[in-house]
Amino acid sequence: MTRLVTANIALSLDGHYHGAGGPPDFGQFIPYVSTDVARAQLTRIHENATTAVLGRSSAEGFLGYWSTVAEDNNADPHDRGYAQWLVDVEKVIFSTTLTEAPGQNSRVASGSIPDVLADLKATGEGDILVNTSPSIIKPLLAADAIDRLYLMIFPELTGGGERLFDDGLPASAWTLTHQETGKLGELALVYDRAR
């Protein structure tokens, strides 16, 4: 069975993955990340994945936070399941500055992101999840190297911030394979690349 390269990210209605204040400006998304729909999507993204791919800033932020959730017996079961998966899974962290990978089962990668992912896809089993790392998702979209997109769309206009889908991407068709709407208007969407 061929490994799928999957990617997970949350976006505002105006297509931004953070607010106008830059990468730390995630405040408008906070009301939506702990809803039942968002937590079900959190489980969905990792249930078939055996490798996590992260950018340096995502890895440094995620691994510190989620390792504490993995040990918290009172955490939501969806959160704890994802946290335990993230701690245990093989992790490939893209960085040009790290000399040592943070967290267990981690290694640092550099070079061409599409080439590294193509090598990963050719070996092993299970999906490869590019987890909330736009610095990796964008070059993969540009190379048409993503097989599945997990999107959470939050009903907010951020009025600024960076966009995931930049002009100039190659044209591509996607098939909606899952959709769910939450009580706050958040959408969990899964799109498979139609090839």
* Mean pLDDT, range 49-68, rounded to an integer: 87
Q: What percent of the chain has pLDDT over 90?
A: 75
Token pair, residue 41, equals: 């999507």
Reply yes or no on whether the pLDDT at 100 is more than 80: yes
pTM (2 decimals)?
A: 0.94
Is residue 67 helix, strand or coil? helix
Closest CA to 52 of 124, 111, 100: 124
Report the DSSP beta bridge partners of residue 5. Answer: 128
Please give the CATH number for the structural domain made up of 5-17+29-157+173-194: 3.40.430.10
| The pLDDT of residue 1 | 63
Check whether 62 has a pLDDT greater than 80: no
Average pLDDT over residues 36-61: 92
